[in-house]
Structure 1
Amino acid sequence: MNLACSDPAAGRSPEERLARMGIVLPPPPPPIANFLTHVREGELLFLSGQGPREADGSLHTGKVGADVSVEQAYAHARLTGINLLSVIRAALGELHRVKRVVKLLGMVNATPDFARHPDVINGCSDLLVTTFGEKGQHARSAVGLGSLPGNITVEIELVVAVERP
């Protein structure tokens, strides 16, 4: 599908697209352990896993498939995407320097019988495609895990290709 033609926001900057969605990027969440939020190597930006942290610092927790619905977890993945975008902006200064979202790894804190991991991680993927258009389309893995740090519902990491200044 050619998103540039079908996307009503085509031609707008990622920041303008976010503003049209009513999204204001918060400051990037600080690391919770001994790691960096991102590492740049050449034209690739590797983002550490982020979780569903609200601007006030509170986290969404629980097991998807037991305590948390697919719809709630989708919203948590979208919020995680917003946090990832804030890390990208802090790392690059502006979002329009993203050449392409290359790879997304989405982890879902799920019950053993839960099977809708892709539906949950779509919360982040949909946000990235809406924000970046075709540049937001990416390779992806969506997996279920028995637990995540702090019992958060989702954790997502990204690899992004960066335009040279």
Structure 2
Amino acid sequence: MTQHNIYDKLETLGIELPQAGSPAAAYVMSAQSGNTVYVSGHIAKKDGKPWVGKLGATMTTDEGKQAARAIAIDLLATLHAHTGDLNRVKRIVKLMSLVNSTLDYTEQHLVTNGASEFLVEVFGDAGKHARSAFGVAQIPTGACVEIELIAEVA
């Protein structure tokens, strides 16, 4: 892997990483144990504000998928801030996705694909990960999706 491979890939995709966010409560944005980095849950944002909505009521699956992709970009910004270099990421190990949805909505996995597909686009095989996707009654600030990430770094 070349030194700037991940950043070149992001540029090719037209992605500029935003400034990493800061915690909204009593926690840190990322923590490392050994070679494993745990990135706290990030909520979906649109135009810098919480992307509010409920899948199955006020949002479509495609909109949710776009929200999940936006979260993946924010997760990479936090991972970049933590590691100093995304090329240190050996693999994305796991995602956990919470989808603010109605009781009868059953496409949480398709919403989460927005993040999963983006991570594979950026990291290739190293972006393939285990994951869980849950429907929940509510997410802080009314956000439509929240995703956390676990990565292995060199």
Indicate the residue corresponding to 1:42 in structure 2. 34
- What CA distance in whole angstroms lies between the structure 1 residues aligned with 2:78 and 2:110? 24
Identity among equivalent positions (%) equals 37
Aligned-pair Cα RMSD in Å? 1.3
- What CA distance in whole angstroms lies between the structure 1 residues aligned with 2:65 and 2:89? 24
Indicate the residue corresponding to 1:22 in structure 2. 14
- What CA distance in whole angstroms lies between the structure 1 residues aligned with 2:99 and 2:135? 5
Matched, 1:128 2:128: no
Indicate the residue corresponding to 2:133 in structure 1. 142
Q: Note the C-alpha offset of 1:37.
A: 0.2
Consecutive unaligned residues in structure 2, runs of 5 or more: none
User: Of the candidates 73, 76, 85, which is equivalent to residue 85 of structure 1?
Assistant: 76
Matched, 1:159 2:150: yes
Name the amino acid aligned to 2:94: K
Name the amino acid aligned to 1:20: T
Please state whether the residue corresponding to 1:118 is helix, strand or coil.
helix
- What CA distance in whole angstroms lies between the structure 1 residues aligned with 2:85 and 2:108? 31
- What CA distance in whole angstroms lies between the structure 2 residues aligned with 1:53 and 1:80? 7
- Runs of 4+ in structure 1 displaced over 3 angstroms? none
User: Of the candidates 16, 25, 33, which is equivalent to residue 33 of structure 1?
Assistant: 25
- What CA distance in whole angstroms lies between the structure 2 residues aligned with 1:63 and 1:91? 31
Q: Which has the higher strand share?
A: 2
- What CA distance in whole angstroms lies between the structure 1 residues aligned with 2:105 and 2:79? 31
Q: Note the C-alpha offset of 1:57.
A: 2.5
Superposed CA deviations along residues 52-100 of structure 1, whole A, max 9, x for unmatched, are 124x531110111100111111000000000000000000011110011
- What CA distance in whole angstroms lies between the structure 2 residues aligned with 1:31 and 1:42? 22
Matched, 1:53 2:54: no
The two structures have a TM-score, normalised by structure 1, of 0.89
- What CA distance in whole angstroms lies between the structure 2 residues aligned with 1:51 and 1:19? 23
Name the amino acid aligned to 2:23: P
Indicate the residue corresponding to 1:64 in structure 2. 55
The two structures have a TM-score, normalised by structure 2, of 0.96
- What CA distance in whole angstroms lies between the structure 1 residues aligned with 2:88 and 2:124? 14
Consecutive unaligned residues in structure 1, runs of 5 or more: 1-9
